[in-house]
Amino acid sequence: MDLFYPNEREKLIKYIRENHPCKIAALDIGRKKVGFAICNTLVKASVARVSFVNCSLNSISQKLKEENIKALIIGISMMGEEIIESALYIKNCAKKICTNLNIPGLLVNEAFTTTIADSILRLEGMNRRERNQKDDSIAALIMLDEFLEKL
């Protein structure tokens, strides 16, 4: 399946509408952790899930398959409209996961989502260790919610 760039958002929206209702997920991919959030397009309510820590792409793909995910939103670092070179790792991971599952994915600008997530968790009174365990999944939730607003 295809991995769409931010300017191709409408292609993924069309796919989701054609397959409605379905489950979609968002991933905030890092070198050590992968934040994970999921929603059902019928109710458009997102839920943050436990982050994957030191997991292989195959393990992540398997979990997404078990959840019957039909499309992915993947956060990637961008400078304006351009994907920055350090984000190629994320792009490659996203491509492998989408290929493994034969589902489409959309790269979205993840700017400040982890910072926003950390602030939210700080307001909840969580210490640094607790925030570190949840911030990437909350960042994925933020990206998924932003996408759902346009769906």
pLDDT per position as a tens digit, 6-24: 889 999 999 999 999 999 9
Task: Give the residue-averaged pLDDT of 29-45.
Answer: 90
DSSP state string for 3-41: EE-GGGHHHHHHHHHHT-S-EEEEEEE-SSEEEEEEEET
Helix, strand or coil, per DSSP, at residue 45:
strand
Question: What's the pTM?
Answer: 0.88
CATH fold of 3-149 reads Nucleotidyltransferase; domain 5 (3.30.420)
CA atoms of 44 and 53, how far apart (whole Å)? 27
- Separation of alpha carbons 84 and 77, rounded Å: 6
Residue ranges of the domains in the chain? 3-149
Q: How would residue 103 be classed by pLDDT, with cut points 50, 70 and 90?
A: very high
By the 8 A CB rule, do 72 and 50 touch? no
